[in-house]
Amino acid sequence: MGHTDAAHAGSGGLTATEHRLANGLRVVLSEDHLTPVAAVCLWYDVGSRHEVKGRTGLAHLFEHLMFQGSQQVSGNGHFELVQGAGGSLNGTTSFERTNYFETMPTHQLELALWLEADRMGSLLAALDEESMENQRDVVKNERRQRYDNVPYGTAFERLTAMSYPEGHPYHHTPIGSMADLDAATLEDARNFFRTYYAPNNAVLSVVGDIDPEQTLAWVERYFGSIPSHDGKQPPRDGSLPDTIGAQLREVVEAEVPARALMAAYRLPHDGTRECDAADLALTVLGGGDSSRLHNRLVRRDRTAVAAGFGLLRLAGAPSLGWLDVKTSGGVEVPDIEAAVDEELARFAAEGPTPDEMERAQAQLEREWLDRLGTVAGRADELCRYAVLFGDPQLALTAVQRVLDITPEEVRAVAKARLRPDNRAVLVYEPLAAEAEAAQPDDVNDSTGAEQEVGADK
């Protein structure tokens, strides 16, 4: 078992050690004795981008199947054991990974490691038609509740399909389609597990009130005998031109409480300096109540009840800038769109003011501190940087890279990317009855650019 240890400038004193088992499992440890808890986080390098046509939603379906029992733990036992020990847990699926996590009292850390190792090593012993059908129905119901039967629920799915062309690995979202969920077989699930749920395709992080030597001994004991698997194929190429090249547009008439303008802009890949600059640009433009779009549309013009602009960071494909505006009263979408374009053009020409730049950097720094300030958040970030960028240490210095961005870099990425010919636009128009009945405070503003779907046990 090899390891490295590092503490980098700008990490706030946080450290992490890296280790690798003989079977390929990467292990990242970070001590934090402030509270007597420990977080276990396991990222598998598999998400919806690894799926093939006709089998969308399989990564998310399998995330649910991981909670249906293993060789030593039957049924709902994983949840019962963790919660009975005073811990919490869940799992989520995104375009680029699937993760599982527990936060436990320190003296129950060994239990969490044993549980994760048991299902990594022996899930197939418990996977049968009954559990497959059970979780297929759960996922289909989740799709109905979160996507198909809520106002604006399919917006992200529609914009993703518009932003990434047919055949692109990010063209479909992790939730998958009803038809593909119905088509998935038990053998599909078993092959999926054999291919992706192997120790050499995973990163395990343990953060908190831990004894590193003892923790590594437990990891070696429970995970060390699980065999590696070499059958994984790399995801299909997700690269695309920097800009879409034309404005794509779709109008949806639906049972929604108010008109809405949503748009996705193609932005630089995560892990680049340009992506950090784009994050700052969107924070100035639409990141909260002090942003330009909120001040213009909600406070000054009073044409919208909500206006936000956020970044969906993606490493294997262009990231997406997600614009979401809900109109007020009888305001028409063209009026909103004209105001948005005016603000974007002004920002591209002038860039952020010194005060805006300082506020945006402070906001992103606070978000970074919030993520690393909890043992669970830090464990997740260490896994993220290990899986997507090959180096968990980057998690500890991410904020410094944001603080090094200049106003000119922010202006330049806005000028190059936040243009009408580089966006997919989705316009929601209420059906006649809803439009007459809607009031401003009826607007559901919960829809956003979410890339994760979770187990929700």
Q: Which two tokens stand for residue 262?
A: 């949503």
For 147, the token pair is 């996507």
133 with 78: CB under 8 angstroms? no
* Residue 437, φ and ψ in degrees, nearest 5: -90, -20
Which residues lie closer than 8 Å to 412 by C-beta, 6 or more apart? 277
Residue with tokens 């010919």: 421
Structure-token match 């640009």, residue found: 281
- Angstrom distances, CA of residue 392 to CA of 15, 193, 380: 10, 25, 10
18, 51, 63, 116: the active-site residue = 63
With left for phi above 0 and alpha for psi between -120 and 50, is residue 152 left, alpha or beta?
A: left
Nearest to 202 by CA among 4, 452, 387: 387
Whether 63 is catalytic is: yes
17 in Cβ contact with 29 (< 8 Å): yes
Are 397 and 9 within 8 A, CB to CB?
yes
In terms of DSSP bridges, do strands 37-44 and 202-208 run parallel, antiparallel, or are they unpaired? Answer: antiparallel
Structure token pair of residue 228: 């590696």
Alpha carbon of 261 to those of 163, 329, 331, 424: distances in Å? 16, 14, 11, 11
CA dist., res. 236 & res. 232, Å (int): 12
Catalytic residues: 63
